[in-house]
Amino acid sequence: MIRYALACDQAHEFEAWFSSSSDYDAQAERGLVECPFCGSRSVVKQIMAPAVSGTKRAGAEPGQTRAKMQAMMMDVAREVRTHVEQNFDYVGDAFAREARDIHEGRSEKREIYGEATPAEVKKLKDDGVPCAPLPSLPPDPSKAN
Residue type, 140: D
> pLDDT per residue over 120-136, tens digit each?
999 999 999 999 888 77
Distance of CA 24 to the CA centre of its chain: 16
pTM, full prediction? 0.51
pLDDT at 37: 87
Separation between Cα atoms, residue 14 and residue 55, nearest integer Å = 28
Q: Is the pLDDT of residue 103 over 90?
A: yes
pLDDT at 143: 66
Tell me the chain's radius of gyration from C-alpha atoms. Answer: 19
More confident residue, 48 or 52: 48
